[in-house]
A and B are shown apart, each in its own frame.
Chain A
Amino acid sequence: MTHLTAFNISVNFPLYHSDNRSLKKTVFRSTAGRNRIGQDEKHRPVVQALRELSFTLGSGDRLGLVGRNGSGKTTLLRALSGIYQPTQGSLSMEGRLTSLLDPGQGMNMDLTGRENVRLRGLFHGMNKTQIAELEADVEEFAEIAQFIDLPVRNYSAGMTVRLAFAMATAVRPEILLMDEWILAGDANFMTKAKRRIEAMVRHADILILASHSAQTILEWCNRVLWLDGGAVVADGRPLDILARYLPPEQFAELAASRLEPPAA
């Protein structure tokens, strides 16, 4: 069964390349709770990017991450991808995971789209036939026509996004982590992408999406985690959380556009 459990996860970034002494002064001067710069057990200055996050996701969960810039959304996605070994706590999951953190990620901009798709196939340990199928699938879904044989550097932003999305979802992830850049696609592509994600989630899979767009969160997610300063502010149903997270007039607008009464 697909599941993902984060237990008490903290991530601290070491500050090696800065002036330690002046930093230490800053650390000692500020005692306020909001301060992100702290010390680890060896008294080295660190940025506390994530603080003691715990949550469990099961089949069919579509978690939206909201929060200001720098609240830890992307770091959380990276930690869940297994890129950062947490400084504290533990993470366990079952399910093939794919993360779409930034559009160019994992792609070599100088190689053609097709060459990138082949490398991705090798990364997934595919054989020749499987890679050919992957190529066909990505070509069909990304709709970038003859651009597939040009270096990715020559793509428009939208094309890069389409290629990245097609590559990431063609191998049928069971856990999909996405950052908000997916919104760079045009309306036609968004509909297609949404259909693919929905099919994926119907198969009892997990989606985690970080976004600044309340509209997107409402459309795609059935649970929302609000982060601030690397810690959880609130966790619950999308409309409930958005009602608290968004400024009142924006939420009213959103609720009106949904033509649904906001949950009490």
Chain B
Amino acid sequence: MSQTLFSISADRGWGQRFAIAAQDLREGFGLWRLAWALGMSDIKLRYRGSMLGPFWLTLSTGVMIGAMGVLYAGLFHTDIHSYLPYLAASLILWNYLSLMVSDGCTCFTVSEALIKGMRMPFTVHALRSVARNTIILAHNVVVIAVVFLVMHVGVTWYALWSFAGLGLWLVDGFAVALLLGAFCARFRDVPQIVASVMQIAFFLTPVMWTASILNKNRPASALVHYNPFFYILEVVRAPLLGAPLPLRHVAVAVAISAALCVAAALGFARTRGRLAYWM
């Protein structure tokens, strides 16, 4: 709101829509410090007055992974020394992904008061959601570090590729928030649909189990082969665990992300002018 020239007119088709959406993105990224501070305050507020604060996240994740690690290593008859690090990395990364999707759904509707109160780039709300969930991830990463230390998992320079994958995830998370946030603001049933899709995806994606179990079972391995979540998950998880990451997996993940970005750009340009009306 601090820029001095402003004009807006009724919808004039795609040219104007893309121009307005691009301006929103530009102004929104210019306010990244605000988005970060808002995301921070969300986490602070959630744990204000509690002794451990956001480290409750770390603690509860740690306890869950410890318990599940013992149980599932037994169920799958695998060695806990190799299974526990896998489970810790998989589960924490999956939680991040799934939280970005479900939180992205409500990124505009939870900010209704702000949206109706002042003109602020919608991009800020999407960035805030990404920031909030990334802060949660940062607290949970401690658990991965502890598990790796205790289980003597060797970490090499190769693991740094995870950060490149994480960069891709940030882009994806932002695109998903813009796309689903707008869609869910208009159709209030969508968050429920998305939640059940994510639940199903959790069981169909190799998170608790490894893809290699399915090698002999063709129809089941097709489920993994055509599962977009698998490729997205792999670009961060494989380098972190020191597992090989085929170039094909990277290419598929990048292609999925590109498709997401195109969909988000189209969706956001189409809905931006109407979002405030849908609150």
Least CB separation from A5: chain B residue: B7
Among listed A110-118, A142-150, A207-215, A249-257, interface-contacting one: A110-118
Is B277's beta carbon under 8 Å from chain A? yes
Nearest CB on B from A164, distance (A) = 10
Is B53's beta carbon under 8 Å from chain A? no
* Residues of chain A from 206 to 238 with CB closer than 8 A to chain B in the complex: none
Please determine whether B6 and A108 come into contact, CB atoms closer than 8 angstroms: no
Among listed B79-87, B98-106, B110-118, B259-267, interface-contacting one: B110-118
Nearest CB on A from B248, distance (A) = 43
Nearest CB on B from A229, distance (A) = 19
Please determine whether B116 and A115 come into contact, CB atoms closer than 8 angstroms: no
Inter-chain CA distance A118–B188, complex, in Å, is: 33
* Residues of chain B from 1 to 36 with CB closer than 8 A to chain A in the complex: 1-11, 20, 30-31, 33-34
Nearest CB on B from A200, distance (A) = 15
Is A55's beta carbon under 8 Å from chain B? no
Please determine whether A81 and B31 come into contact, CB atoms closer than 8 angstroms: no
User: Which residue of A92, A96, A104, A124 is within 8 Å of B7 (Cβ)?
Assistant: A92
Nearest CB on B from A110, distance (A) = 5
Q: Which residues of B contact A81 (CB under 8 A)?
A: 118-119
Is B120's beta carbon under 8 Å from chain A? yes
Point out which of A90, A108, A123, A125 has the most chain B C-beta atoms below 10 A from its C-beta: A123
User: Which residue of A84, A89, A98, A122 is within 8 Å of B31 (Cβ)?
Assistant: A122
Inter-chain CA distance A93–B9, complex, in Å, is: 12
Is B274's beta carbon under 8 Å from chain A? yes
Least CB separation from A92: chain B residue: B7
Q: Which residues of A contact B37 (CB under 8 A)?
A: 118-119, 122
Nearest CB on A from B278, distance (A) = 8
Please determine whether A93 and B31 come into contact, CB atoms closer than 8 angstroms: no
Please determine whether A98 and B277 come into contact, CB atoms closer than 8 angstroms: no
Please determine whether B38 and A85 come into contact, CB atoms closer than 8 angstroms: no
* Residues of chain A from 169 to 200 with CB closer than 8 A to chain B in the complex: 171, 174
Is A262's beta carbon under 8 Å from chain B? no
Please determine whether A96 and B1 come into contact, CB atoms closer than 8 angstroms: yes
Please determine whether A85 and B274 come into contact, CB atoms closer than 8 angstroms: yes
User: With contacts A111-B45, A125-B2 known, is A91 near B8, CB below 8 A?
Assistant: yes
Least CB separation from A78: chain B residue: B116
User: With contacts A82-B8, A119-B41 known, is A125 near B31, CB below 8 A?
Assistant: yes
Is A95's beta carbon under 8 Å from chain B? yes
Please determine whether B41 and A82 come into contact, CB atoms closer than 8 angstroms: no
Give a binary string over B114-139; 1 marks a CB under 8 Å from any A CB, 0 the rest. Answer: 11111110000000000000000000
Give a binary string over A11-54; 1 marks a CB under 8 Å from any B CB, 0 the rest. Answer: 00110110000000000000000000000000000000000000
Inter-chain CA distance A81–B45, complex, in Å, is: 29
Point out which of B1, B7, B34 has the most chain A C-beta atoms below 10 A from its C-beta: B1
Nearest CB on B from A258, distance (A) = 34
Is A102's beta carbon under 8 Å from chain B? yes
Inter-chain CA distance A174–B4, complex, in Å, is: 9
Nearest CB on A from B134, distance (A) = 18
User: Which residue of B1, B8, B38, B116 is within 8 Å of A119 (Cβ)?
Assistant: B38
User: With contacts A104-B113, A115-B41, A125-B2 known, is A86 near B31, CB below 8 A?
Assistant: no
Nearest CB on A from B19, distance (A) = 13
Q: Which residues of A contact B113 (CB under 8 A)?
A: 104-106
User: Which residue of A10, A82, A124 is within 8 Å of B119 (Cβ)?
Assistant: A82
Nearest CB on A from B13, distance (A) = 13
Q: Which residues of A contact B273 (CB under 8 A)?
A: 85
Least CB separation from B41: chain A residue: A111
Please determine whether B31 and A82 come into contact, CB atoms closer than 8 angstroms: no
Please determine whether B117 and A82 come into contact, CB atoms closer than 8 angstroms: no
Inter-chain CA distance A106–B115, complex, in Å, is: 8
Q: Which residues of B contact A111 (CB under 8 A)?
A: 41, 45
Q: Which residues of B contact A96 (CB under 8 A)?
A: 1-4
Q: Which residues of B contact A59 (CB under 8 A)?
A: none
User: With contacts A83-B276, A85-B274, A125-B2 known, is A90 near B8, CB below 8 A?
Assistant: yes
User: Which residue of A17, A86, A123 is within 8 Å of B34 (Cβ)?
Assistant: A123
Q: Which residues of B contact A115 (CB under 8 A)?
A: 41
Least CB separation from B30: chain A residue: A125
User: Which residue of B4, B11, B20, B34 is within 8 Å of A95 (Cβ)?
Assistant: B4
User: With contacts A85-B276, A124-B1 known, is A97 near B9, CB below 8 A?
Assistant: no
Please determine whether B118 and A106 come into contact, CB atoms closer than 8 angstroms: yes
Least CB separation from A79: chain B residue: B8
Least CB separation from B12: chain A residue: A90
Closest 9 CB pairs of A and B: A90-B9, A105-B117, A92-B7, A85-B273, A82-B119, A122-B34, A106-B117, A88-B10, A124-B2
